[in-house]
């Protein structure tokens, strides 16, 4: 059963479905359509709503209330707010953790901790843009077909048996007609549901090639130089295996080439010849050249912030909006006011220089969530995020974008590749950030959980980037078993596969494992099942043969029953068996 509520000008109204409803200040049209042309689904409904103000109104909310009885064996998939936010299936009695209060000044804007509409507690499970309930014979998905007008929050209360489908529109000033909601409710097998969901989206499926490559971040971090980049390029060329025709190879320079975050055209002395010769050297090796940028943020001490303080976004009290805290930079970093023409002109100059003058083929765009931390009186967070990404896409043109740290629904169809999980850590878990309950933390286990949870986005919304694999011995505290698990899961669950290893130091055994990347990338993922918490069974087909992967992401030995025998899977171990 579905009902609708609308809140505006400090009043709440109940709205009937499939009827134009008139109020003194506005009228609202809600249409419910049964999608009879879709095949293979048990249920297929589309609900659209448009608000028509008769005068200026201030919106406080719109929600559909969906009454539903949850069965004890069902699980709820919750898509996190942005790329790094943990995204997985939850048991009905679980609770999504809230950031500890002490961490709010440093990390409170990374996720949805600052958004009042989000409710937390036992059995209160919230998801952004889309979410689903896993049943014994398939899934029941609720998903937004567009986040252009406002983000969609799907909040399940498993204790009361209600689902609240809400639009993030608090204090939105409306003066014109506004298509506020366009969602579908689909039920069927997992692949059928997601195929139909993305077929209804207003964009074509991705045509970007899967890719392998190298990135500087997870080995050298900001301590990079021209010498380090060229040394790794030479080693990568010598020890990398020729790619099949259907794959691209990208060699990417990450954070650390610029003097300050925000001053993208000011290059460190450690790159004495600038960036153009490096892009040329990458091309001469036969690879595409990638460069990291964070277009919507800057350090307080950056040149653009010092010379143009009015470029920095301020809240209603005149305080600078902090996007987060990074001890590797100069502490707190801040948001650029994207709608200022001067800011847009600056970004246009940066991207033209990077892509046309320097000759880079791909930009990895990071910390993108920052641009939509603060809604505007006449624009929601979703509108701000969409406007910003449309602007970036228009100036990048046909060159490639790898999105990172971004609300995923805002970039469906707008980026070529997208990060779908947290940053890999050089350990299995970051103990301090885990204690602080930061869902966007640097963490290997969080990265793998989200890669598993968001696998259905690959080749439907964009090419999935599950983050890097690490095989090296140096500058790394992951065990060989953990490294193997990361490699296998990343290959099976995504199609952008990077490493930061210096390949020249690989042992023969490590080179052999690295060579297997191209073989496994040709596999076809068939199904994923969580057998118990953080223990998974993955089925795939390779060269017409069926295989089963058992992956244990826990610290304990687990036993898996297969063909009347128990198989022991050691802590962090992943094994591949013929089916």
10-39 residue pLDDT tens? 999 999 999 899 999 999 999 999 999 998
* pLDDT of the residue at 241: 75
> For domain 530-578, is the CATH number 3.10.20?
no
Q: Which residues pair with 138 in a beta bridge?
A: 135
Please name the residue that has the structure tokens 């069927």.
Answer: 188
Strands 496-499 and 211-215: parallel
pLDDT at 56 over 90: yes
Q: Of 143, 28, 139, 15, nearest to 79 (Cα)? A: 143
Out of 193-197, 458-462, 476-480, 509-513, pick the least confident: 509-513
Say if pTM beats, i.e. exceeds, 0.95.
yes
What is the total residue count of the chain?
Answer: 579
For the chain, the average pLDDT equals 95
147-182 residue pLDDT tens? 999 999 999 999 999 999 999 999 999 999 999 999
* pLDDT of the residue at 244: 66
Burial class (CB in 10 A: 0-12, 13-18, 19+), 409: buried
Token digits for 350?
């940066």
Domain with CATH 3.20.20.70 in the chain: 211-294+342-369+380-522
* pLDDT of the residue at 561: 76
**What secondary structure letter does DSSP report for 70?**
P
Q: Which CATH number describes the domain made up of 211-294+342-369+380-522? A: 3.20.20.70
3-state secondary structure 505-566: HCCHHHHHHHHHHHHHCCCEEEEEEEEECCEEEEEEEECCEEEEEEEECCCCCEEEEECCEE
Q: Of 73, 82, 76, 226, nearest to 162 (Cα)? A: 76
Q: How many CB atoms lie within 10 A of CB 125?
A: 27
């Amino acid at each position: 059963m579905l009902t609708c509520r609308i809140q505006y000008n400090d009043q709440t109204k109940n709205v009937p479905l499939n009827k134009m409803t008139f109020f003194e200040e506005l009228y609202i049209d809600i249409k419910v359509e049964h999608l009879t042309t879709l095949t293979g689904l048990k249920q297929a409904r589309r609900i659209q709503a448009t608000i028509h103000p008769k005068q200026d109104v201030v919106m406080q909310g719109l929600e559909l209330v969906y009454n539903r009885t949850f069965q004890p064996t069902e699980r709820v998939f919750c898509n996190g707010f942005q790329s790094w936010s943990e995204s997985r299936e939850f048991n009905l009695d679980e609770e999504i953790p809230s950031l500890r209060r002490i961490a709010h000044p440093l990390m409170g804007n990374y996720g949805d901790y600052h958004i009042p509409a989000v409710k937390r507690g036992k059995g209160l499970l919230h998801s952004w843009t889309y979410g689903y309930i896993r049943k014994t014979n398939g899934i029941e998905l609720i998903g937004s077909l567009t986040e252009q007008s406002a983000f969609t929050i799907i909040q399940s209360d498993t204790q009361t048996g209600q689902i609240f489908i809400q639009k993030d529109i608090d204090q939105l000033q409306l003066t014109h007609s506004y298509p506020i909601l366009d969602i579908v409710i689909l039920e069927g097998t997992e692949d059928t549901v997601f195929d139909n969901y993305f077929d209804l989206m207003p964009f074509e499926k991705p045509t970007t090639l899967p890719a392998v490559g190298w990135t500087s971040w997870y080995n050298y971090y900001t301590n990079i130089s021209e010498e380090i980049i060229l040394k790794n390029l030479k080693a990568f060329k010598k020890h990398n295996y020729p790619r099949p025709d259907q794959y691209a190879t990208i060699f990417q320079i990450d954070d650390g080439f610029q003097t300050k975050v925000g001053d993208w055209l000011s290059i460190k002395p450690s790159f004495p010849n600038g960036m153009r010769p490096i892009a040329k050297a990458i091309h001469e090796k036969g690879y595409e050249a990638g460069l990291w940028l964070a277009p919507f943020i800057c350090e307080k001490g950056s040149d653009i912030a010092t010379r143009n303080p009015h470029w920095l976004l301020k809240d209603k009290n005149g305080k600078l909006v902090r996007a987060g805290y990074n001890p590797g930079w100069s502490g707190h970093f801040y948001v650029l006011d994207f709608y200022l023409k001067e800011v847009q002109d600056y970004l246009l100059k940066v991207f033209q220089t990077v892509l046309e003058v320097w000759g880079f083929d791909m930009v990895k765009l990071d910390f993108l969530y920052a641009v939509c931390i603060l809604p505007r009186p006449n624009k929601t967070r979703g509108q701000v995020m969409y406007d910003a990404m449309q602007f970036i896409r228009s100036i990048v043109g046909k060159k490639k974008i790898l999105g990172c740290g971004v609300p995923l629904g805002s970039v469906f169809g707008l980026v070529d590749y997208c990060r779908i999980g947290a940053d890999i850590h050089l350990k299995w878990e970051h103990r301090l950030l885990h204690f602080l309950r930061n869902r966007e933390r640097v963490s290997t286990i969080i990265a793998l959980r989200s890669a598993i949870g968001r696998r259905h986005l690959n080749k439907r919304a964009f090419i999935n980037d599950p983050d890097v694999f690490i095989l090296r011995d140096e500058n790394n505290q992951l065990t060989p078993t953990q490294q193997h698990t990361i490699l296998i899961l990343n290959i099976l669950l995504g199609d952008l596969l990077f490493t930061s290893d210096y390949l020249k130091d690989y042992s023969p055994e490590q080179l052999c494992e690295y060579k297997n990347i191209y073989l496994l990338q040709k596999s076809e993922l068939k199904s994923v099942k969580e057998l118990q918490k953080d223990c998974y069974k993955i089925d795939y087909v390779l060269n017409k043969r069926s295989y089963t992967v058992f992956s244990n992401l826990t610290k304990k030995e687990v036993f898996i029953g297969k063909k009347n025998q128990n198989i022991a899977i050691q802590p962090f171990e992943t094994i591949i068996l013929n089916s």
